[in-house]
C-alpha cells in the first residue's frame, strides 16, 4: 500500500500525518510535530519539514530519515503569511523642571517625609544649622561611617532631613542614627544626583505606598509650583504611584528637556477608499475603521513614526524571505488592543519607568503569489520523494476537523496559532470559506511582557501557559482559584511567600516579581480574551452566512493555542451566547487539537471530501 505523508507547514509548527492509503481506505501509522523553520511558505521551511518527517518515521518504527519509504508528500496550499506585533505609545512620559528617583528599593530605611537641599556627605561639616539638607552618600562610604557622620551633624544642630545612598544600606544607616528620617538606597547613578538642589524624600510605612510624591498637588506644594509647572509634573507623580519610597529633585530651568514624538497615523485602504486614524485615538476607534473598511486592500503607517516603521519593516522582511517585490506584499488585517506600556522616564536617575496607555498592534501580511511550488521542488530535491501540493488549507482543516467525534456540517474551524487566527467554514452546500486574521499567541505574549515589565520571553510563555499559586508555607500553596493544595515533601525555602507557576503537579517555578497573584492573573486573562475571543468573533463573523454567527452549528478549535488551559473555555463560553457548539478539537479521536490540516491532506489523497 502506498504511504502518504500529509505535511502542514504552519506559522510556528510543522505537523505530519503518515498513513497507508489504498482504494479509498486510510490506515494512519504515525504523526509528529516540529518547529517551522523560517516563514511559512518559504524555502527555509525545508529543514523543519525534514525534521518533522524524520520524527514521524521514527514513531512508525522505521529508521531516522528513511524517506524512501514515503511514496508521496502532500503539502498544504497556502500563501506565506507573517504576523508582527508592536507597542505604539499613545502618550509619552515627559518631565521638565524635575529629576526623580522612584525605583522602589526593597529595603528603604526610616519613614516619613524630608525636604532639604541636596549635599554630599563630605560637605556636612560646612553646613550651617539653619540650612535643611538631604545627604547624598556614594558607595565608597560605609554604612558605619555614614551613620557616624550624620550623628555628628545632628549633634551640631544641622537639620538632616533625608538620605539618598548608593549602596543597599538604608536600614543599616537608619538603625544607627539618632533621628528617624526617610532614607532611599540602591540609587546606582548616585553621581548624577544634582547637588545644591531643592529635594523631597518620602518613605512610606511598611505595607503602604508614598502619598505626597505620588500626588501632583503634593509636589506642587513642596516646591511652590505654578499651575503650568504642576501640569508638567504629572508624569513624575504617575511614575511614583505604588512605590514605597521616592525622591523628587527640582532642577534648574532647561536641565531636563521636553521631547515629544508623534504616535503616528494608520492609513487603511479598502472598498470605501483610504481611511486614516491616529494611534492616540485608541484600539476601539482603530478597529471600528478596520471593520468599516473591510475587506482591506492594504495598510500603511505615517512615515517618520514608529507605526510607519513597523509596517515597512514587516513588508521588507516578507520581501527578503519570499523574493517578491515590495509592491506585491500587502497588509491584509490588523488587530489593535489597548494596553499599558512601560516608558522610560526622562530625568529619572534609577531607570524609572511609568506605565502609559498604549496600543498593541498585530498585522497580517499575505503575498499575492504562491511560491509553494518552489518549496515543493526544494523538498523533493532534498529528500528524493515525490511532492505534490494538496488541497487548499481551509478545506484540509475542515476535513481533518470532521474526524473529531460529534461534529457535522455546517462546521467552522478556528485555527489558533502563534502569529494568526484562521477560520474555515464548511457550508451545507460544500463550499468552504477562509479568513486569516492578525493576532494570536505571540500578541498575547507581547501584552503580558509589556504590562508586567518582563524581558524574559521564556517566563512570559510560562505565565501564559500555566496557572498560578501563592506559596503560603513549605507544605502548602493557595492556587489562583482560591483552593489549597498540600505537599508531602517540603517545598524549597526560596519559594516561601512567592507567587509561583504550577509547571507540573509536583514542580513549582517562582516568579521573581514584586507583583500580586491577582494582577498577574488579570493581565494574563485580559490579554487572552482581548486577542483570542475578539479574533474568534471577528473570524466567525467574516465567514458566517450573512455574517451571522448563529447560522454556524459547530465550531472546532485547533492549533497550538487550542491546547491552552483557559483559551478554549473562554471562546466556548462566549460562543454559547450564539447557541453554537464549540470546543477543543480531537482530531482522529485521539490527537486533540493538533494535526487537523495534515490529517485532511491524507484523507483528501484517498478521495475523501467534507461532504
**What angle is formed at CA 190 by the lines to CA 186 and CA 193, rounded to 5 degrees?**
125
Residue with cell 516619613: 112
CA distances 520 to 120, 451, 527, Å, are 41, 9, 11
Angle between helical axes of 45-59 and 372-383 (0-180°, round to 10): 50
Angstrom distance (rounded) from CA 483 to CA 495:
18
Q: Pick from 367, 363, 342, 366: which is nearest to 286 by CA?
A: 363
Three-state secondary structure call for residue 24: coil
The per-residue pLDDT for 103 is: 52
The yes-or-no answer to whether 1-79+370-396+594-611 and 406-454+513-585 have a common fold is yes
- Closest CA relative to residue 160, chosen from 137, 194, 144: 137
- Bridge partners of residue 214, in order along the sequence: none
Are 429 and 412 a contacting pair, CB within 8 Å?
A: no
User: Residue 406, exposed/middle/buried by CB under 10 A (0-12, 13-18, 19+)?
Assistant: exposed
DSSP annotation of 509 reads: E
Q: How much is the pLDDT for 83?
A: 52
- Domain locations in the chain as residue ranges: 1-79+370-396+594-611, 84-92+260-367, 98-250, 406-454+513-585, 455-512
CATH of domain 406-454+513-585: 3.30.420.40
For residue 358, give every residue at least 6 positions away whose Cβ sits within 8 Å of its Cβ, in sequence order, or none. Answer: 87, 88, 89, 90, 338, 339, 340, 341, 450
Region of residue 595 (left: phi > 0; alpha: psi -120 to 50; beta: else): left
Q: In the Cβ-directed half-sphere of 155, how many Cα atoms lie within 13 Å?
A: 7
Residue 145: all three cell numbers together: 561611617
Q: Give me the helix-helix angle, 534-543 and 567-575, nearest 10°.
A: 50
Give the burial string for 59-71 (b: 16+ CB within 10 Å, else e). ebebeeeebeebe
Structure confidence at residue 302 (pLDDT)? 82
Q: For residue 532, what is the DSSP state? A: I
pLDDT of residue 367: 61
Q: Which residue has the cell 531636563?
A: 256
* Domain 84-92+260-367 bears CATH identifier 1.10.3720.10: no
Architecture of domain 455-512: Beta Barrel (2.40)
What does R_g of the chain's alpha carbons equal in angstroms?
Answer: 30
Q: Could you confirm whether domain 1-79+370-396+594-611 is CATH 3.30.420.40?
A: yes
Domain over 98-250 is classified CATH 3.50.30.70? yes
Give every residue of the chain whose pLDDT is below 70, as ranges.
78-107, 239, 252-263, 304, 306, 321-322, 341-356, 367-371, 608-611
Measured distance CA(582)–CA(334) in Å, rounded: 25
Alpha carbon 599 to its chain's center? 31
CB-based contacts of 47, cutoff 8 Å, min separation 6: 37, 38
Name the region of 112 (left: φ>0; alpha: ψ -120 to 50; beta: rest): left
In what order do the strands lie in the sheet containing 420-426? Answer: 432-438, 420-426, 411-416, 554-558, 581-584
Instruction: Report the pLDDT value the prediction gives residue 97, as an integer from 0 to 100.
Output: 42
Phi, psi of 396, deg, nearest 5: -65, -40
pLDDT computed for residue 39 by the predictor: 75
Amino acid at each position: 500500500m502506498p504511504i502518504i505523508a500529509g505535511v502542514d507547514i504552519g506559522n510556528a509548527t510543522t505537523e505530519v500525518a503518515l498513513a497507508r492509503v489504498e482504494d479509498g481506505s486510510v490506515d494512519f501509522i504515525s504523526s509528529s510535530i516540529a518547529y517551522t523553520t523560517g516563514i511559512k511558505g518559504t524555502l527555509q521551511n525545508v529543514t523543519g519539514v525534514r525534521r518533522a518527517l524524520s520524527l514521524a518515521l521514527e514513531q512508525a518504527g522505521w529508521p531516522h530519515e528513511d524517506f524512501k519509504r514515503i511514496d508521496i508528500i502532500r503539502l498544504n496550499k497556502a500563501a506565506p503569511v507573517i504576523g508582527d506585533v508592536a507597542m505604539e505609545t499613545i502618550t509619552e512620559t515627559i518631565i521638565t523642571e524635575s529629576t526623580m528617583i522612584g525605583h522602589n528599593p526593597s529595603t528603604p530605611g526610616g519613614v516619613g517625609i524630608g525636604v532639604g537641599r541636596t549635599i554630599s556627605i563630605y560637605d556636612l561639616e560646612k553646613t550651617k544649622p539653619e540650612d535643611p539638607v538631604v545627604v547624598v552618600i556614594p558607595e565608597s562610604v560605609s554604612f558605619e561611617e555614614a551613620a557616624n557622620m550624620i550623628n555628628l551633624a545632628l549633634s551640631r544642630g544641622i537639620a538632616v532631613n533625608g538620605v539618598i545612598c548608593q549602596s543597599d544600606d538604608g536600614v543599616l544607616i537608619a538603625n544607627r542614627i539618632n533621628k528617624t528620617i526617610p532614607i532611599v538606597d540602591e540609587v546606582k547613578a548616585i553621581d548624577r544626583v544634582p547637588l545644591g538642589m531643592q529635594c523631597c524624600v518620602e518613605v512610606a510605612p511598611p505595607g503602604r505606598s508614598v502619598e505626597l510624591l505620588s500626588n501632583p498637588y503634593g509636589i506642587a506644594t513642596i516646591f511652590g509650583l505654578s499651575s503650568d509647572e504642576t501640569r508638567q509634573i504629572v508624569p513624575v507623580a504617575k511614575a511614583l504611584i505604588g512605590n514605597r519610597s521616592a525622591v523628587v529633585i527640582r532642577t534648574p530651568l532647561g536641565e531636563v528637556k521636553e521631547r515629544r514624538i508623534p504616535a503616528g497615523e494608520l492609513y487603511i485602504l479598502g472598498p470605501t477608499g483610504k481611511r486614516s486614524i491616529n494611534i492616540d485615538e485608541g484600539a476601539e476607534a482603530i478597529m471600528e475603521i478596520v471593520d468599516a473598511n473591510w475587506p482591506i486592500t492594504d495598510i500603511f503607517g505615517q512615515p517618520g513614526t514608529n507605526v510607519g516603521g513597523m509596517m515597512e519593516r514587516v513588508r521588507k522582511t516578507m520581501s527578503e524571505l519570499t523574493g517578491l517585490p515590495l509592491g506585491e506584499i500587502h497588509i491584509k488585517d490588523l488587530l489593535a488592543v489597548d494596553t499599558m506600556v512601560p516608558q522610560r522616564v526622562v530625568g529619572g536617575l534609577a531607570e524609572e519607568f511609568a506605565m502609559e496607555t498604549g496600543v498593541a498592534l498585530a498585522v497580517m501580511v499575505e503575498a499575492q503569489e504562491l511560491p509553494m511550488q518552489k518549496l515543493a521542488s526544494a523538498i523533493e530535491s532534498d529528500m528524493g520523494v515525490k511532492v505534490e501540493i494538496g488541497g487548499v488549507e481551509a478545506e484540509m482543516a475542515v476535513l481533518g476537523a470532521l474526524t473529531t467525534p460529534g461534529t457535522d456540517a455546517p462546521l467552522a474551524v478556528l485555527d489558533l496559532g502563534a502569529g494568526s487566527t484562521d477560520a474555515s467554514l464548511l457550508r451545507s452546500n460544500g463550499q468552504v470559506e477562509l479568513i486569516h486574521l492578525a493576532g494570536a499567541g505571540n500578541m498575547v505574549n507581547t501584552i503580558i511582557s509589556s504590562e508586567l515589565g518582563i524581558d524574559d520571553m521564556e517566563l512570559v510563555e510560562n505565565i501564559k501557559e500555566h496557572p498560578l499559586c501563592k506559596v503560603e508555607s513549605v507544605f502548602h500553596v493557595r492556587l489562583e482559584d482560591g483552593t489549597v493544595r498540600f505537599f508531602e515533601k517540603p517545598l524549597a525555602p526560596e519559594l516561601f511567600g512567592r507567587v509561583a507557576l504550577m509547571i507540573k503537579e509536583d514542580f513549582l517555578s517562582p516568579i521573581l516579581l514584586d507583583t500580586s497573584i491577582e494582577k498577574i492573573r488579570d493581565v494574563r486573562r485580559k490579554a487572552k480574551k482581548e486577542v483570542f475571543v475578539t479574533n474568534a468573533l471577528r473570524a466567525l463573523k467574516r465567514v458566517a452566512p450573512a455574517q451571522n454567527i448563529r447560522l454556524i452549528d459547530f465550531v472546532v478549535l485547533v492549533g497550538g493555542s487550542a491546547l491552552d488551559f483557559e483559551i478554549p473555555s473562554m471562546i466556548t463560553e462566549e460562543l454559547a451566547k450564539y447557541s453554537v457548539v464549540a470546543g477543543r478539537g480531537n482530531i482522529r479521536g485521539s490527537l486533540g487539537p493538533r494535526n487537523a490540516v495534515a490529517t485532511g491532506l491524507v484523507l483528501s489523497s484517498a478521495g475523501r471530501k467534507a461532504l
